[in-house]
Structure 1
């Protein structure tokens, strides 16, 4: 930071060329962990609101649960949950490739 200031970089340049590139791995891990945590919000939603008023807090996990329990369609719920894992892996992979680029330098 001191070298950037001596070279005449303003605050915006320091933010986008020094601070954010150094924080990329931390941001990527935080996004992935929070994404997984948001996907696991099933128990909190069911316990507090049982799906909420007019399906407001519906998540994919809650939709799978409702498909199994309320509608009795175990096959559809199984297919939904089978597609859920690769979708979450794809989102995590995209986040890792887009955000966390160790060793890459911006010009």
Structure 2
């Protein structure tokens, strides 16, 4: 893995490790800047199959709703980003032991 995710280090890493016509899924802005050619693969999932397609997304969304409604009993949209930041911080530290 590159040490940083800036465009220059990502280009160097991909130049060393990828072969021609190899497929890479791009998820970060630094990676999309490196993309020379791409084909957008669209996947439409019927609503009844959504839980099987991305189960962790639905679990995280449910956990976030419980966190906001249980802890704060609803929030203002003005402070939504701060509440989401706190949820992510607590989620990322859930197994951390001081």
TM-score by length of 1: 0.22
Higher helix share: 1
Computing the radius of gyration from Cα coordinates, the structure with the larger value is: 1
TM-score by length of 2: 0.24
